[in-house]
Amino acid sequence: MITERIEAAGRIDWWPFTRLAITATALGAAAHTFLGWQPPLRQVLAMPGQTLGVLSILAMISFVLADLYLLLFLGPLYVVGVLNDWFYFASHCACRMVFRPKSAWLLALGGLCGEILLFGSLAYFLRRVLLP
């Protein structure tokens, strides 16, 4: 009984990360296809190293500056993570109430598709508002 609890505590739920990766891939593919967005791959791959470098320099100067930089960097990532959950669960509940699927797999797929549509709609709205 104790070993079962330890094994259950060690299991990782990969579904939230998988949803976020699929959503980012779908939105990136849509931006590439419809908007012609082509970020240089070398710069995208260098971003984590640049962030760590700036954080290291700020940590040598002041822990307060390092914490502030980390907060400013992780704040938008936290917002995206929370929106990821909210959009998925809103779509999940809507699919469950409207379509009433028998399969949990179809319900999860409906939630994922709704999440991608909601993120795409938010990106489209923000683009229209911020870039007149």
| pLDDT for 2 beyond 80 | no
**How far from each other are the two terminal CA atoms of the chain, in whole angstroms?**
61
pLDDT of residue 56: 84
Q: Which domain holds residue 48?
A: 15-130
47 in a domain, yes or no? yes
pTM of the full predicted structure? 0.73
Q: Residue 66 — pLDDT band, cuts 50, 70, 90? A: confident
7 in a domain, yes or no? no
Domain count for the chain:
1
pLDDT of residue 109: 94
Beta strands in the chain (DSSP E): none
pLDDT of residue 52: 83
Q: What is the pLDDT of the chain when averaged over all its residues?
A: 87
98 in a domain, yes or no? yes
Mean pLDDT calculated for residue range 31-36 = 88
